[in-house]
Amino acid sequence: NPDRPVSPGHLAYIIYTSGSTGKPKGVALSHRGLANLAQAQIQSFGLRSESRVLQFASFSFDAATSEIVMALCAGARLDLPNAEQRLPGLSLWRHLNEAAITHLTLPPTALAALPQIAAPALEGLIVAGEPCPPALASFWSTSRRFFNAYGPTETTVCATIAECAHASIEEATALPIGRPIANTQLYVLDRHHQPTPIGIPGELHIGGVGL
């Protein structure tokens, strides 16, 4: 075995933000946050050694890190489709069925491109990266567990997860972002950094090992 001792605080990877401020900045994420993310997602999504996780996201996007670590840390199969198989639409839907994918993470725009036909093997579907229309979630949550995940780059991919049951989102106007994952804290604060009362708008502040 190579002699490369790694501690939880060591750097795991650096990823650049989208540059919404006009100046993209590199965010340094640790092994501690990555390990915490993997375990939180394995438990939330119900992954096991028999699971088959599709690696859909581009390697330049932090969602790819999420797909890879949760699959490998669960001892599950990580399915690596080619460029044609990854195309949203009939090509991706066909691959999901041929490879018997059980867990899939997609942005809602890619999910909306899939034909609305049953995918029997699919047990868990996660949407992330952008708001998901409730009507879209309502269809895809009818025969499987459906999750809405949220998190900025600085929080090691994912900070919150909401499991959305079909019955609870049929009449919803927006999907909830859910509760913080393990070892993560969320606060809604006003401009003085004081907690806001329930129902009062504020700024979302995130803390925890993934930061």
**pLDDT tens per residue across all 211 residues of the chain:** 778 788 999 999 999 887 677 888 899 999 999 999 999 999 999 999 999 999 999 988 899 999 999 999 999 999 999 999 999 999 999 999 999 999 999 999 999 999 988 889 999 999 999 999 999 999 999 989 999 999 998 999 999 999 998 877 877 889 999 999 999 999 999 999 999 999 999 999 999 999 9
Asked if 111 and 61 touch (Cβ cutoff 8 Å), the reply is: no
Q: What is the DSSP letter of 144?
A: S
On the CB side of 15, CA atoms within 13 Å amount to 22
What is the structure's pLDDT at 17? 83
CA 64 to CA 157: how far, in whole Å?
9
What is the structure's pLDDT at 121? 96
Instruction: Tell me the two tokens of residue 209.
Output: 């090992």
Q: Which amino acid is at 132?
A: C
In the chain, how long is the greatest CA-to-CA distance? Answer: 56
Selection from 141, 155, 140, 137 nearest residue 205 by Cα: 155
- From residue 161, give the alpha-carbon distance in Å to each of 1, 41, 177, 191, 211: 37, 9, 6, 26, 16
Strand partners, 195: 189
What is the structure's pLDDT at 19? 67
Residues 6+ apart with CB under 8 A from 193: 205
Looking up tokens 């949550």 gives 141
Selection from 137, 150, 141 nearest residue 177 by Cα: 150
On the CB side of 191, CA atoms within 13 Å amount to 0
Residues 6+ apart with CB under 8 A from 128: 63, 105, 107, 148, 149, 150, 151, 158
Cα 123 to the chain's mean position, in Å? 15
**In 3-state terms, what secondary structure has residue 91?**
helix
Q: The whole model's pTM is what?
A: 0.93
CA 206 to CA 190: how far, in whole Å?
14
Planar angle of CA 143, 156, 148, nearest 5 degrees? 20
